Amino acid sequence: MTVLYVDADACPVKDEAERVASRHRVTMMLVSNGGIRPSRNPLVQIVVVPDGPDEADKWIAERAGPGDVVVTSDMPLAARCVEAGAQVLRPDGSTLTTANVGAALATRDLMADLRAADPFRQGGGRGFTKADRSRFLDALETALRRALR
């Protein structure tokens, strides 16, 4: 049975994911350390994990596998889920696969090293746009259709 796992802490597309999951009648697990507003939707389950580093990631990685879809911005989690056979999407709609997750993980590590080397480095990533939200909706629709086949 297909499950949609959402790494819910700071995820900007929870509502969009719920709409698509509901349309396909797929169980959606919102996994976080807390602070997520409950949904009245019976397909949406809120999973609150203990406080601590990467607890939500561990919970998702232990369960996601072939036929499941995972939404996350966390590259180590994405790598583990891809390795387990799940489809992985970022909130901007980009797909992570065996072909590109290694490069995404390496880029993440490189950027962390650069930030550590220059603590006065200013700026962050680009803002989340309507185009990102639209790409996510299209990508999730495609991923869930693929998973349900």
The pLDDT of residue 120 is above 90: no
Q: Tell me the pLDDT band of 29, cut-offs 50, 70 and 90.
A: very high
Sheet holding 95-96, edge to edge: 44-48, 27-32, 3-7, 69-71, 87-89, 95-96
Residue 128 lies in a domain: no
pLDDT score for 117: 75
Domain membership of residue 33 as a residue range = 3-120+133-148
User: What total number of domains does the chain contain?
Assistant: 1
Q: Could you tell me the CATH number of the domain that includes residue 70?
A: 3.40.50
Confidence of residue 126 (pLDDT cuts 50, 70, 90): confident
In a domain, 127, yes or no: no
